[in-house]
Chains A and B, each alone.
Chain A
């Protein structure tokens, strides 16, 4: 068990090492900023991974590009704009609010508000129904009920 754990840890550290060793003499400041930016960018080859997590060749290239732009002194905003210009809003894990993404941003709010309104409406109706007096029973119905109750009493 311990040996397995040691092997797994070694493998994991190897993975981490694999990425940081992507370039020689990595500047820790650049790498830290790269990490924060790369975590917001989608790798379009393996769409549910960020370019920080992906090992796809494109992700490696985009990390290299981002690194170069950081070294050139570009701001995070400029780097994001660079990516969007080439790959569209889809590259951002946090898409901007615009005409195309409006539904995406607004729909959850509408659903929550709509659900709450529906709930309030339903509860109010239920309360009013409870307040209203029960309709009087007609004679035939009353006799039926009494007969049932009586038959129940007869049981031991």
Chain B
């Protein structure tokens, strides 16, 4: 009974430490997306390189694909870009770029400099589609399945490790 007097505060303190330790491992910038397992919001946007050609997510029905939000002004996109180039070279998955709040000339020039891993990019000049997808910090990547349902959202640059540990198994499962 007497020992309890010391054990209880110690236990509460330990519990608090556990909660705080868990809190430290979490990135507050990674907000869970409400879109997981929901149909990808519909939109119609002009393609970046062919302003007359339109694209809508429905065009990708039957395919597993990535929607990658990028911009020429986005510094982290530059970090992520070689990884996307590599994914595209390996033919892992078709990647559609959502060029977010960018000038068309800047965007095309940027792709010319850094390589173009996208099957094509669409041009969201005023960020309206970005809002519909809950984008708050490029780069962001959505994995969309054959039925057009968002199955995963990656916030921030994709690292080569993310590709191996998260994307490859997920894509294999969705393509199965």
Q: In angstroms, how far is the closest chain A Cβ from the Cβ of B92?
A: 28
Bound: A112/B107 CA distance, A: 55
Q: A57-B101, A62-B131, A65-B131 are in contact. Are A87 and B32 (CB under 8 A)?
A: no
Judge whether A87 and B101 touch: CB under 8 Å: no
B115: interface (CB < 8 Å): no
The stretch of B46-54, B75-83, B132-140, B160-168 that contacts the partner chain:
B132-140
- The answer, among B28, B33, B130, for a CB contact under 8 Å with A88, is B33
* Complex Cα gap A87–B134 (Å): 5
Contact of B136 among A58, A84, A85 (CB under 8 A): A58
- Alpha-carbon gap, A85 to B35, bound state (A): 8
A47 nearest CB across to chain B (Å):
6
- Whether A44 contacts B34 in the complex (CB less than 8 A), given A57-B101, A86-B134, A87-B134, comes out as no
Contacts across chains A and B counted by CB atoms under 8 Å = 35
Chain B nearest Cβ from A118, distance in angstroms: 9
Cα distance A154–B133 when bound, in Å?
A: 89
Is A86 in contact with B34, judged by CB distance below 8 angstroms? yes
| CB of B156 closer than 8 Å to a CB of A | no
Q: CB-CB < 8 A to B119: which residues of A?
A: none
- Residue from A58, A61, A85, A90 within 8 A of B31 (CB atoms): A90
A84 to B131, CA, bound (A): 11
Number of contact residues on A: which range applies? 10 to 19
- B57 proximity list for chain A (CB < 8 A): none
A14 at the binding interface (Cβ < 8 Å): no
- Asked if A45 is at the interface (CB within 8 A of a chain B CB), the reply is yes
Q: A50 to B101, alpha carbons, bound, how many Å? A: 21
A residues lining the B interface (CB < 8 Å): 44-45, 47, 57-58, 61-62, 65, 84-88, 90
- Give 17 new A-B contacts, CB below 8 A, not counting A44-B136, A57-B101, A61-B127: A44-B31, A45-B136, A47-B28, A58-B127, A58-B136, A61-B126, A61-B131, A85-B34, A86-B131, A86-B132, A86-B133, A86-B134, A87-B34, A88-B31, A88-B32, A90-B31, A90-B32
Q: List 19 A-B contacts (CB under 8 A).
A: A44-B31, A44-B136, A47-B28, A47-B29, A57-B127, A58-B136, A61-B131, A86-B131, A86-B132, A86-B133, A86-B134, A87-B31, A87-B134, A87-B136, A88-B31, A88-B32, A88-B34, A88-B134, A90-B32
